[in-house]
Amino acid sequence: MNKKSDVLDSIVALCKRRGFVFAGSEIYGGFAGTYDFGPYGVELRRNVVDTWTSTMKDHENIALLDSSIFTASRVWEASGHTTGFSDPLVVCNSCHSKQRADHLLEAIGIKADEKMTETQINEIFDANRERLKCPVCGEKKFGLVRAKNLLATSTLGKFEEDDQDVYLRGETAQGIYINYKNILDTGFYSIPFGIAQVGKAFRNEISPRQFLFRKREFEQMEMQYFIHPREALRVYEEWRTERMAYYQKLGVNKDKLHWKRHDNLVFYAKDAWDIQYEFPFGTEELEGIHYRGDYDLTQHQKFSGVDLSAYDEETKTKYIPHVIETSVGVDRTMLMLLCEAYHEDEMNGEKRIVLRFAPNMAPVKVAVFPLLRNKPELINKAREIYMSLRKVYGSSKVKFDDNGNIGKRYRRQDEIGTPFCVTIDFETIEEGKGVTIRDRDSGQQERVSEADLIDFLQRKIES
């Protein structure tokens, strides 16, 4: 196996070679912080989104939502996003390296608040200049701190000179808060209930990095649970338990998942934990599960002037529901699954790269090969079996391959993580002895009758 630091490079190369992920705008030299997904990337993302969505739908009281990316600017004023900054950067005038100003300050024990403006962070930086050292060259010669707003802007809907730019959403959560009353008013849900949504979010990340880990355009899967404060802490613990258990369904090794409590809670939060995963570049946040109190609805009530309170039958009083949030990125989950699955090993004396996805997450479930490509009877039988499997798993989840020798076909399927390869040989046709099924991880082959093939695969995929 590669050194840990090389593993990410090997995964990036494999993703391009086999059609999972391509650099965004690649033929024009790339566009930082964006990636495009090829056929197997699309399948893997869909598996992630479908599993998350069906877990949310298992709750009778969770509603699905698809809110718009463009929203009124007031939404982002209410949420506090328009005053915050993304990574504040400063250039070392001596070695010209770019450094995170907040990290330099943290190294001398000063915490830069995310809500600070560029001017405020420059003032703190200036006041402490003498103590701040460049971690690359050790010099103390820095330029101005540049801190861009986290939200990406667009000119959509801007017709007059003095019309303001509008924001692309920086998280899907705000779309949920502003629709909370709409969902409640449908009459199908009452507190406690949750709203779940999957969708794109955009952030002006100054230093996008580590492949899919930190992108500028990414996809979130967020759920906001609205609840009376007296029940919130108990239910918050239930959500924490459920969210950790969910990762077992994705086949993630539980020893690589860790809880991290936030030491410095933002002023409105009641409690905040992250689930972290041991990525090859370090143990980092995968999902946030945060008890946000009544901050979000209170802010939107204040800024919109719309009453967002609920009525408590028990005490006969109005109150603002509290919010429990679970928030995870599709891209970060996909990167975790790739890191988890990536292995280099030896099979039958040959080195190979294999993605050991759990069968339910694998983009392709089964590949079908005729033993030889120049024997019409083998090809016809293989195509017949291939067509019947497509009916069960869907056309994109079954592959037909008659290109090159069987060994090469196995290598290709191993590299996209196909758990099972079915080969049709002369014994299948002449002696009715069924097909061979080769297991991706052990390389072992079993003969299974044609009649039992679908049951056999189904059992293995669901186990």
Closer by beta carbon to ligand GAP, 125 or else 277: 277
Contact 377, 430 (CB under 8 A): no
Among positions 287, 296, 415, 425, the unique one binding ligand GAP when judged by CB under 6 A? 287
- Contacts (CB under 6 A) with ligand GAP, residues 116-175: 171, 173
CA atoms within 13 A on the CB side of 387: 5
Phi, psi (degrees; rounded to nearest 5) at 40: -80, -25
Q: What is the DSSP letter of 269?
A: -
Among positions 169, 243, 322, 332, the unique one binding ligand GAP when judged by CB under 6 A? 332
Among positions 41, 329, 370, 434, the unique one binding ligand GAP when judged by CB under 6 A? 329
Closer by beta carbon to ligand GAP, 214 or else 240: 214
* Least distance to ligand GAP, CB of residue 272, Å: 10
Residue 226, classed as helix, strand or coil, is strand
**Nearest position to ligand GAP, beta carbon:** 329
- The residue range among 100-108, 139-147, 154-162, 325-333 that interacts with ligand GAP, by the rule CB under 6 A, is 325-333
- The residue range among 14-22, 188-196, 301-309, 320-328 that interacts with ligand GAP, by the rule CB under 6 A, is 320-328
Residue 101, classed as helix, strand or coil, is helix
Cis peptide before 39 (omega within 30 of 0): no
Residue whose C-alpha is closest to residue 102's, from 72, 128, 81, 76: 128
List the structure tokens of 26: 């690649």
Closer by beta carbon to ligand GAP, 86 or else 301: 86
* Least distance to ligand GAP, CB of residue 435, Å: 41
* Least distance to ligand GAP, CB of residue 90, Å: 21
Give me the count of residues in the chain.
463
Residues with Cβ within 8 Å of residue 463, at least 6 apart in sequence = 359
* Least distance to ligand GAP, CB of residue 268, Å: 13
Closer by beta carbon to ligand GAP, 250 or else 367: 250
Residue 420, classed as helix, strand or coil, is strand
Closer by beta carbon to ligand GAP, 84 or else 359: 84
Among positions 118, 284, 285, 312, the unique one binding ligand GAP when judged by CB under 6 A? 285
d(CA 374, CA 378): 8
Closer by beta carbon to ligand GAP, 285 or else 427: 285
List the structure tokens of 197: 């949504």
List of E strands, 159-256: 166-167, 193-202, 217-227
Contact 226, 192 (CB under 8 A): yes
Closer by beta carbon to ligand GAP, 104 or else 336: 336
Query: What one-character-per-residue DSSP string does 283-330 give?
Result: EEEEEEEEEEETHHHHHHHHHH-----EEETTTTEEEPPEEEEEEEEH
The site map against ligand GAP for 165-204 (x = CB under 6 A) is ------x-x-----------------------------x-
Closer by beta carbon to ligand GAP, 275 or else 421: 275
- The residue range among 16-24, 308-316, 321-329, 419-427 that interacts with ligand GAP, by the rule CB under 6 A, is 321-329
- Contacts (CB under 6 A) with ligand GAP, residues 207-246: 214-215, 218, 220, 222
Residue 6, classed as helix, strand or coil, is helix
* Least distance to ligand GAP, CB of residue 80, Å: 12
Phi, psi (degrees; rounded to nearest 5) at 272: -150, 125
Instruction: Look at the alpha carbons of 296, 302, 304, 305 in this order and tell me if their dihedral is positive or negative.
Output: positive
206 counts as binding ligand GAP under rule CB under 6 A: no
CA distances from 292 to 119, 224, 274, 303, 358 (A): 28, 10, 14, 18, 34
Helix (H) or strand (E) holding 91: strand 89-91
Closer by beta carbon to ligand GAP, 227 or else 367: 227
Q: Which residues of 73-109 are buried (b: 16+ CB within 10 A; e: fewer)?
A: eebbebbebbebbbbbbbbbeeeeeebbbbebbeeee
- The residue range among 265-273, 279-287, 414-422, 427-435 that interacts with ligand GAP, by the rule CB under 6 A, is 279-287
* Least distance to ligand GAP, CB of residue 212, Å: 7
Among positions 197, 204, 326, 327, the unique one binding ligand GAP when judged by CB under 6 A? 327
Residue 266, classed as helix, strand or coil, is coil
Among positions 87, 271, 331, 414, the unique one binding ligand GAP when judged by CB under 6 A? 331
* Least distance to ligand GAP, CB of residue 203, Å: 5
- The residue range among 48-56, 256-264, 322-330, 446-454 that interacts with ligand GAP, by the rule CB under 6 A, is 322-330
What does the binding site for ligand GAP look like in residue numbers (CB under 6 A)?
A: 171, 173, 203, 205, 214-215, 218, 220, 222, 285-288, 325, 327-329, 331-332
